[in-house]
């Protein structure tokens, strides 16, 4: 158990809908990362927050947004969902949010299925 929790575990929805994925980082970690894992794209970095502020942006679509709240939990919002958005979405947390030795701890993921 990494200490990172994600809810829900599974989500099934229809095209055009909007969903919210939630992540609670490990106790004491200030930084949260979101990743998308799909069969065709592999593991893609979406976005990073540190202490409530956006720190780095990856391959995140404009239809997707995220935020980190004062209690450090984070939410990833996916809107106007398409079939191709079906994937595993991972959240990871780290203590510092920078530095090569700042280990990221991954949550178990949320499996999103868009029908």
**Which positions lie near other proteins, rule CB under 8 A?**
2, 4, 33, 42-43, 45, 48, 55-56, 58, 90, 92, 98-109
**At closest approach, how far in Å is the CB of 16 from other proteins?**
29
- Over its C-alpha atoms, the chain yields an Rg (Å, rounded) of 13
Do residues 97 and 30 touch, judged by C-beta distance below 8 A?
A: yes
Closest CA to 40 of 86, 93, 106: 86
Q: For other proteins, which is the closer residue by CB, 8 or 58?
A: 58
Q: For other proteins, which is the closer residue by CB, 33 or 78?
A: 33
Do residues 76 and 89 touch, judged by C-beta distance below 8 A?
A: yes
Q: For other proteins, which is the closer residue by CB, 78 or 92?
A: 92
**At closest approach, how far in Å is the CB of 75 from other proteins?**
18
Two structure tokens written together for 96: 């510092």
Q: For other proteins, which is the closer residue by CB, 70 or 99?
A: 99
Alpha-carbon span 51 to 69, nearest angstrom = 8
């Amino acid at each position: 158990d990494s200490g990172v929790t994600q809810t829900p575990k599974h989500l099934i929805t229809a095209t055009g809908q909007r969903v919210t994925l939630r992540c609670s980082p490990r106790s004491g970690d200030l930084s949260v990362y979101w990743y998308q894992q799909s069969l065709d794209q592999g593991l893609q970095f979406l976005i990073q927050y540190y202490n409530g502020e956006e720190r780095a942006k990856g391959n995140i679509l404009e239809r997707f947004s995220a935020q980190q709240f004062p209690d450090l939990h984070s939410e990833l919002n996916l809107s106007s969902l398409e079939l191709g958005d079906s994937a595993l979405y991972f959240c990871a947390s780290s203590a510092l949010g920078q530095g090569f030795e700042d280990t990221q701890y991954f949550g178990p993921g949320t499996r999103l299925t868009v029908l």
